[in-house]
Structure 1
């Protein structure tokens, strides 16, 4: 959650020496401050508070939405803090580094399962591994830190996607057809939406050779103090050792417990 200094209930005052570009930047920052304070803001309210036309407010909010700073629960709905804004608040205001908080849990998860444990964040329609504790087994999934994968084809990505509103899924995947990097990957948005619904029900996401041949995984989303999904934690293992999807599913309780431990540490870490 982003804490912002309360803004006065008045229109923003434009700097007469500022050019159009600087004015737009100032208005965009002002919008972020208002949304951080109010947690919800409609186009008409934004226009009134900024003292600009509704079309201008809509354009600014749309630009912020494209960059994940704000999000909408439904088309034409109110704008709320998005993943990018919450991530900045988590790091800059709360001064919590989720990698530092999650690292001990990743190590414990590796020791418990003897498989590679990872932490990942969503970036548009992709997911980036930001930390990893590699398995010590001779046959293992290697360190994935820094690697980017299609979010719809990775357990760590699908776990986060399942926590987003439908409007956000549709924005990230405007086309019905989805890119497939392996034969097992989902090929259309309808199939993705159906799987995300299943993930919400069971509390974890699975991956059987969807992002890379020979690799299977299970993951659970992590939330900030406002309930916004900001990352995911998962374990990946060679498919040959898991045997089938049920073998991967048996690792889910350990990942769910690990996610709960990270959430607790996020709430209590100064």
Structure 2
């Protein structure tokens, strides 16, 4: 592995301080990073010259982020592909848990699966990228619906009964709202035989760089391998995976 460049690491350390602080002075940066004062001033001068920082305040004694960082961030965002990034993270999660992993987005009242990695077990969930399912019957769908304002949820479903896929499916809006409140509170969702009599799932929402829920990740398991213990373990796994994908999309928790 190539050796890291200390000066470059220090420059990035300075820039990353501004993720949490709108403005900083040279003494504040020196104190936070424990670097020599001369080193900090040299790095600040270079970052200002390249447009990554700009002086602010009287006499330019303080600094804030410059436009160059915004340009790089915008270029990164323009090149992001949710399906591609989702597939990469799904592969990592599937390698960890050896169960089927999905990435889904919401289109109206349905979930559209845009990425998938199969389990290595002989007995596994049968599904495909491009498949659609009613959102209220799936863990992915619940993770997505939980981010909606109440009025938008009401507009989606009106007063009609919800279509059932199995005997365990939620069929009324009152019950769905109660479950979505729990999902929003805890940051994860579950489904037990609601879209398929033989499958249970856990899921977590995926956020973009604006903090908006744009997708959800799920782990689907045949009920013959499902238990309270496995549910707890897989819940932690899917939440970490969704957080990883969110970070790839530019989200900061």
TM-score normalised over the length of structure 1: 0.62
Provide the C-alpha distance between the structure 1 equivalents of 2:194 and 2:219, rounded to a whole number of angstroms.
15
Q: Work out the CA distance in 1 between the residues paired with 2:160 and 2:233.
A: 32
Is 1:140–2:140 an aligned residue pair? Answer: no
Structure 2 counterpart of 1:151: 135
Q: CA deviation at 1:250?
A: 3.1
* Pick aligned residue for 1:179 from 139, 142, 163: 163
* Aligned mate of 2:104, from 87, 95, 120: 120
The residue number in structure 1 matching 2:152 is 168
Q: Distance in 2 between matches of 1:215 and 1:191?
A: 21
Whether the aligned pair in 2 keeps the contact of 1:133 and 1:143 (CA below 8 Å) is: no
The answer to whether the 8 Å contact 1:176/1:190 transfers is: no
Residue 265 of structure 1 and its aligned partner are, at CA, apart by 1.1
Aligned 8 A contact 1:154 1:211 in 2: yes
Distance 1:251 1:123 in 2: 26
Q: Which residue of 2 aligns with 1:104?
A: 88
Distance, in Å, in 1 between the alignment partners of 2:134 and 2:226 is 22
CA distance in 2 between counterparts of 1:235 and 1:258 reads: 10
2:219 and 2:158 map into 1 onto residues whose CA distance is 29
Structure 2, gaps ≥5 residues long: 1-73
Q: Which runs of 4+ in 1 moved over 6 A?
A: none
CA deviations on 1:76-119 (whole Å, 9 max, x unpaired) are xxxxxxxxxxxxxx9xx723111111222101111111100111
Aligned residue number for residue 265 of structure 1: 248
Q: Secondary structure at the match of 2:125?
A: coil
Give the aligned partner of residue 35 of structure 1: none
- What pairs with 1:169-248 in structure 2 (closer than 5 Å)? 169-243=153-227, 247-248=230-231
Task: Say which is worse superposed, 185-194 or 225-234, in terms of deviation.
Answer: 225-234
| Conserved? CA contact 1:119–1:131, under 8 Å | yes
How many angstroms does 1:176 deviate by? 4.7
What does 1:38-117 correspond to in 2, within 5 Å? 94-117=78-101
Structure label with greater radius of gyration? 2
Which runs of 5 or more residues in structure 1 are unaligned?
1-89
Distance 1:173 1:253, change over 3 A: same
CA distance in 2, matches of 1:100, 1:172: 29
User: What is the aligned partner in structure 1 of residue 47 from structure 2?
Assistant: none
